Chains A and B, each alone.
Chain A
Amino acid sequence: MTSIYQVGAFWLISLAIIFAAIMVVASRQLVHMVLWLAVCFIAVASMYFLLDADYLALVQIMVYAGAVSIMMIFGVMLTQRPDLKECLLFNNQLKLATLVVIVVLALTGGLTYGARWFVSGATVPADTIAHIGTLLLSKYVIPFEVAAVLLLVALIGAIVLAKEVKPGARSRD
């Protein structure tokens, strides 16, 4: 945060993130919610850009904002009503909800305030992706591979679940 432009951009993006996040909850239509979620993700990605974490920003856009369209499809396929006007968005559990919100806010606020942040005076390296690549394939190679195997298992599981059952086939159980 050096120049006035960066500070201005920080506040602008922060407001955009918060506004989009509120709209996700307050929207009346499921698809609108998902679209606001996409706005929120892209705003978070621009925050990463501002902080010189360009690789993280692009991953954010590709993984989160790109997957939003899939979520919209589920939203359309799983909801029967075209809009949520008939659904109850606000119920009468106001006191309990307030309590939960206050506890969560106090907890996160306290933890954030008490945390000892790791602050480095070093300049941000210009070429982050080379470092990330080297670290992923040397120091963190085992977690990286375990995550890959986990994804593969999930993929195969999804294929097995979605596999067409042939009419003549006997079930095994």
Chain B
Amino acid sequence: MGDRIFIEFGNYLSGLLALAGAPLLLNQVILMIVKIVGALLFILLNLMFIIWLERRLAGWFQARVGPNRVGPKGLLQALADVGKLISKEIIIPGAVDKVIFLLAPVLIFVPSLVLFAVVPFGRGMIPVDLNLGIFFFFAIGSLSIVVFFMGGWASANKYSLIGSMRAVAQMVSYEIPMVLSVLGVVMITGSLKMSSVIASQTQVWNIFTQPVAFLIYFAASVAEVNRTPFDVVEGESEIVAGPMTEYGGMAFAMWYMAEYTNVILVSAFAVTLFLGGWLAPFGWTFLPSWVWFVLKLYLLIFLHMWVRWTYPRIRVDQLMSFGWKVLVPLSLANVFVTGFGMYVFRGIGW
């Protein structure tokens, strides 16, 4: 029943606009703006919750309490932090390249926000169903590397520069196994469209046919969002905070929030590619499709946090050899086995 609540709202709005005599183009533009605002609200609300969740879970894993004072169970802690950070001064050190220094924390959000356009939030609830959806994800996602480098270089600080060089090396290297692992899913689906990826998983989710690909994707996605055990980019004990060293106040908060936005994003794609998207497991359709999507999303986000607070940081030289000597060959083998298996199954007549 609640499954179509957002779609009905969209239809209602569109009908209302048509009734008011708005031309078709204006109608579509307004609907698109409403969709974008909806996706933004989804991101910001989840961001607040995830930052609180991470800090509570970190406390739990480390046998301490965590933030529990502001609001019930400390839920409003993120709001209080944002208030504090907004009121702080953004310190601009003397030697920085001012324009790029201030541009980087703004631009870091752009690729992440653009990518939410192809996330299927529920049945028929995908803002733009591109027929190149998966490719779009990787192409636009690769742009955030440039922004990391902008921030690190413009800071005119050796720790920032080393951090941003590490960021480039790491993110470029781990993009390759990430793309190759998804290739198995694309081969099974035969399409790059997000909606057909989900439609192909009605019988069995891809995590069961592509378990190795899921593990590779998860490892590579942790590296792409620069979180422990792959957080050499901002390793506190070595290079202060990497590209974010010189940032303060809201500029730092932007970097911080971008990291969590990217966690939501890679988890949302993992849900779509491997966990059946908004499809209900065991035919339990008593919950709306978007609720299932959010539940699976939080399962994966919890996995990210669990990994972060459990494992120590990997060494820089180990990081590269792990990416190139383990993940890349493994994902290539996965592509090979998938292709072979598909022909065998087709031969049997499945």
Contacts and interface: CB of A to CB of B under 8 A. Distances in A.
A32 B149 CA distance: 12
A79 to B, nearest CB: 12
Interface stretch (B74-82, B132-140, B260-268, B336-344): B132-140
B142 A129 contact: no
Contacts of B135: 55, 58, 62, 129
Interface size class of B (residues with CB under 8 A): 20 to 34
B251 interface: no
A70 B164 CA distance: 11
B141 to A, nearest CB: 9
A76 B149 CA distance: 11
A55 B132 contact: yes
Interface in B168-184: 168, 172
A132 B304 CA distance: 37
Contacts of B148: 69
A61 B142 contact: yes
Secondary structure of the A side of the interface? helix
Nearest to A60: B139
B224 to A, nearest CB: 13
A58 B139 contact: yes
Contacts of B161: 76
A76 B142 contact: no
A73 B131 contact: no
Contacts of B139: 58-59, 61-62, 66
Interface residues of A, number: 23
Nearest to B148: A69
B145 interface: yes
Contacts of A32: 100
Contacts of B192: 129
Contact of A62 (B142, B146, B149): B142
Contact of A54 (B97, B100, B130): B130
B30 to A, nearest CB: 16
Nearest to B172: A70
A72 B149 contact: yes
- Which of A29, A54, A59, A72 has the most chain B CB within a 10 Å cutoff? A72
A69 B132 contact: no
The 7 closest A-B CB pairs, nearest first, are A66-B142, A62-B139, A58-B139, A69-B145, A69-B146, A61-B139, A69-B149
13 contacts: A29-B97, A31-B97, A59-B139, A61-B140, A61-B142, A66-B146, A66-B172, A68-B146, A69-B146, A69-B149, A70-B172, A72-B149, A129-B192
Given A66-B143, A68-B146, 20 more contacts: A29-B97, A31-B97, A31-B100, A32-B100, A38-B146, A42-B143, A58-B135, A58-B139, A62-B138, A66-B142, A69-B145, A69-B146, A69-B149, A72-B146, A72-B153, A76-B161, A129-B131, A129-B132, A129-B135, A129-B192
Interface of A: 29, 31-32, 35, 38, 42, 54-55, 58-59, 61-62, 65-66, 68-70, 72-73, 76, 126-127, 129
